[in-house]
Structures are given as structure tokens and as C-alpha cells.
Amino acid sequence: MNGAEVIYATAASAGIEVCFANPGTTEMPFVKAFDDIKGIRPVLGLFEGVCTGAADGYGRIKGTPALTLLHLGPGLANGVANLHNARRARTPIVNIIGDHPTWHVAADPPLTMDIEGLARTFSGWERISGAVSGVSKDTAAAIQSAMGGRIATLIVPHDIQLSAFPAGPLSAPGNPYTSPEDDHIALAAKCLLDGRKTAIILDGRALSRKGLLAASRIRQAVGCDLISVAFPACMERGDNLPILPRIPYYPENASALLCVYDTVILADAHEPVSFFGYPGQKGRFLDETPTHMNLISEGQDVVEALERLAGHLPRASEKERREPGAGSGLPDMRSGMLTPGKFCVAVAHLQPENAIIVDEGTTSTSAYYAVAAGSKPHTYITLTGGAIGMGMPCATGAAIAAPERPVISLQSDGSAMYTLQALWTQARERLNITTLLCANRKYRILQQELKRAGYPGVGEIAQSMTDLGSPPVDWVKVSEGLGVPAVSVNTTEGLVEALNRALAEEGPHLIEMEL
């Protein structure tokens, strides 16, 4: 086997199944190796941001990494915004980046750039393979690091891809997690039992089914509150799981939620801070909270920590164990012309059991999370890093990770324009994704932010920077042009009919909603 084949063979034997790829000349040995190494399914994306966003969606659902295959520094650069979102989501991803042959780099050919320097900005692990004899070890190390919720980037010069691997066994990744220390769990238990008003803020794997069930046992034992970070990477919902309020986006609302607590325990969550620094507003919400602590340190297993913490606390009775609000109903559907509020209620009613909801609906879906608390069990994914253009690629990767599950992509129009090539991959792979395209034809959130900034007399030119209406994007044509059947609706009745039809048919669909 050559270096490229060994890298795939190592990945396949570690359980990696998919590679989201947009290769070039420096990756030709990797392209050829798709023919010869069984077990890695290549998925072509027509822009690198689609590949990296798809790897993010895949990793969030599967919990194990996909590969990406990208072309030198410029190819990687095109994928960085969605790698940034993935880093914030703590998604496992292994990037494979080709480079010029080692003997040619000094000539500074046109595509040369500092790939490692770029990779360092979002990777938890990065390496340039220095010899073919080390590529299996490098790949296993990259996978192990990624499995712990990091992005790992392996840069492989072209001559090393082509060189023959000396005979010998392939390397395998080890366990990415360490166990949390007993003392630390005991300290968290002491905080929870001291009778002060306490909240646990959950993120990452704490929002998985197992994490939430353990957190629910803790809540029932001591009566603390459970809160989700503002932008959860992947949250299980419904089916008697606890219903978590989310930290609000605007700082005054987030402060109001968090200021009542004496103690805050962070379960795989960063300290909550304001999304932007607004003059005169608080930037860090726990500054005046008397006690706050991290439940785990870097590299520790949060699910294990929550389960062990629950084990330290008295067990609640059977009656106390039911989650408050679980199984509560949905608001009534409202008919007539579509509004963001009516559309959110309609989706919450119609989404099938076990759906994956990818929410990049921006202002149009602000009501969705609260109303969908009463929906059938589902998985909920949001924009963790604020770099827009994540929704359609992420939905693509999620559908590849779980082909048996329906994916609903709640997508605002401005953000959709960044990575709309994802629709082509959805059509090519015949993925069961329904995109609900919120066509308000503006950057509505930026209009809100302009108002909040309180500038006196925002003029026409500034306002025009938030307007997408001239010309209006024809989403039906765009979608059909990329191979995804589409319709446009402007009433709740139209949406209900189109969504039911899309969910009943195989393959991707897009429904443009005039909002």
C-alpha cells in the first residue's frame, strides 16, 4: 500500500466510514485510493464549506468523525468558517489536506501557503506527515484526538502519499477520554447539597440522551435547575427528557436568567458570555455569581461525570422522577398567511418522530425551540460558532450519518446563500432532507442590531446593506437547478400540504416560504 491507502485503511479499521471531499492535483493518490480501499465512502461537495459543514453535521449525529479531503491551504481556507462552527460544537472531525511534494515546496509554486499555521487556528491537533513509515501512526493519533471532541488536521505531502508503506501492522487510536477525579465529583456533590440556588449549564455530550438522563436524576435529587447553552451543538429532546431553557442571545436577557443563582456548575459548557460586546452591557454573566465550577477538565468524559455525580446524591422517588412539562402539548396551529411564528408551530406539529432538526433559521425560528418542547422525540442542532452558512451542509452530513431518519433543515435565506451548493450533494446522494427556506429577503438580524446600536438616523445606504429583495433570489429555480425539487408557499395551509408531501417522498425537497 502507498501512504494514501494506508491512511484510509487505518481510518476504516478505526470505524471511519465517510469522507467529504473536494480534492485537487495534490490529492490524486487519495482520490485513486477510494477505488482500492474498501470502507470509506467518498461524498463530493462542490465547495469546501459544504464538506466541512457536512463533516460537522455527521460528527454531531454519529459521535464519531468523518474525514474531509481538501486541497492545500486555499481549499482548507474555504472550509474554515464551518470548521470554526465545528470546533465550537466540539465535533470530532479529521481533515486530510494534501500538500506539494516535499522536494517542490521550496520552489514556492502558486498554491503554496502556511497550511499548518491556518490549521492551528481551529484544530486541537495538527501535524505534517514527515515520512511514509509514520502515516498510520499519524492517522491513529488524529482520530484519537478527534474522538475527544476536537478537529484534527493531517497534512500529507504528495510524495508521502505516493511512497510505499513498509510492511507492518496499522496503528489504532486509543481511548480519547480520561475519567473525572473522585475529589472533583465529590466537590460538585457538596455544592449541589448545600441548599443554595444552583443551576447546571449543559453543552456538548451532556446534552446527549445519557447525559440528560443523568442530569435529570441530579435535578430530581437536589432540585437544581438545568439550563442549555445558548447554541447547543446537538440536543436530544422529548420522550420524558428534561426540558431545558436556553440562555438567551441578548445579554440583558441572559443576565436576567443567570443572575439569580448562587452556584453554577458547567457540564462540558464554556463560561457563558455575551455573543458580542455591547457598550454598557455585561460581557461575562457569571462575574458576580458567588460560586461557579467546571464539572470536568479538558479530555474528561462528561457523561461519566454526570452519572457518577447522580450516584453521589439521594435517589428521588418514582413519583418525583417524572420530568415537569414533559409530554405537554403544542400550541394550536393557526391558519392563513405565513408568519415566522405560525411556521414554527406548524413544523413542531408535523415533524415526524425521530427527526433531526438543523436550525439555521436565524430570526425566523426564534420561536421554534420553545414550541417544539411538546413535539415528538427529536434531535436538535444549532449554529454553535455564529459563522453563517452551516445549515444546509450540516443537514447534508446529518442525513448521511442517519439515513433512516428524516432531516428537516430550517434555513434562513441570507445564510443559505453562503453554502447553497449543499443542495447539489443532497440531490446526488438522494438524501431525505426537507429544507424549509425562510425567505424574508433581508438580513433581518442585522436590521435589529442596527436598531439596537442606537445610531441616530440610520440612512438609506446603511439600511440597503441589510436588504436582499432586489433582485429577490428565486429559491425554486435555484433549488431545481441544483437537482432538488422545490415549491413556494405563503400560507400555513400551503406549508402543511407541501411539508407532508416532502416528508412522504424519498429524496431531498425544498419549500420556499414567503415570510
Ligand X SMILES: Cc1ncc(C[n+]2csc(CCOP(=O)(O)OP(=O)(O)O)c2C)c(N)n1
The CB-of-89 to ligand X minimum distance in angstroms stands at 15
Nearer to ligand X, 78 or 415 (CB): 415
Distance CA 384, CA 88 (A): 6
One residue of 446, 450, 496, 503 binding ligand X per CB under 6 A: 446
Rounded least distance, CB 370 to ligand X, Å: 17
Binding to ligand X, residues 53-82 (CB under 6 A): 81
Please identify, among the stretches 147-155, 382-390, 394-402, 472-480, the one whose residues bind ligand X according to the rule CB under 6 A: 382-390
What DSSP line would sit under 236-296, residue for residue? EE-TTPPP-PBPPSSHHHHHHHHTT-SEEEEES-PPPB-SS--TTS-SBTTTT-SEEEESS
Residue with CB nearest ligand X? 414
Strand ranges (E), 431-497: 433-439, 486-489
Q: Given the complex with ligand X, which of 140 and 388 has the nearer CB atom?
A: 388
Q: From the CB of 146, what's the least distance to ligand X, in Å?
A: 23
Phi, psi of 171 (to 5 degrees): -85, 160
With CB under 6 A as the contact rule, which of the stretches 191-199, 233-241, 316-324, 384-392 interacts with ligand X?
A: 384-392
Q: Is residue 445 a contact residue for ligand X (CB under 6 A)? A: yes
Q: Applying CB under 6 A, which of residues 144, 412, 419, 492 lies at the interface with ligand X?
A: 412
* Segment interacting with ligand X (CB under 6 A) among 214-222, 306-314, 329-337, 442-450: 442-450
Pick from 469, 425, 463, 427: nearest CA to 20: 425
**What are the two backbone dihedrals, phi and then psi, of residue 87, each rounded to the nearest 5 degrees?**
-60, -45
* Residues that contact ligand X, how many (by CB under 6 A): 18
Find the part of the chain contacting ligand X (CB under 6 A) among 228-236, 362-370, 372-380, 495-503. Answer: 362-370
What single DSSP character describes residue 2?
B
Question: What CA–CA distance (Å, rounded) separates 110 from 282?
Answer: 46
Contact segment (CB under 6 A) with ligand X among 28-36, 361-369, 372-380, 469-477 equals 361-369
Residue 388 lies near ligand X (rule: CB under 6 A): yes
Q: Taking CB under 6 A as the rule, does residue 443 contact ligand X?
A: yes
Cβ-based nearer residue to ligand X, 53 or 211? 53
Residue 469 as a binder of ligand X (CB under 6 A): the answer is: no
Cell of 197: 440556588
Contacts of residue 491, defined as CB under 8 A and 6 or more positions apart, other chains included, come to 335, 336, 337, 338
Q: What is the DSSP letter of 85?
A: H
**Selected binder of ligand X within 307, 444, 478, 513 (CB under 6 A):** 444
Q: List, as one string, the DSSP characters of 333-375.
A: P--SB--HHHHHHHHHHHPPTTEEEEEE-GGGGTTHHHHGGGS
Cβ 388 to ligand X shortest distance, Å = 4
Chain mean position to CA 417? 18
Interface residue with ligand X, options 127, 349, 442, 509 (CB under 6 A): 442
Contacts of 311 (CB under 8 A, 6+ apart): none
Question: What residue ranges bind ligand X (CB under 6 A)?
Answer: 81, 362-364, 386-389, 412-415, 440, 442-446
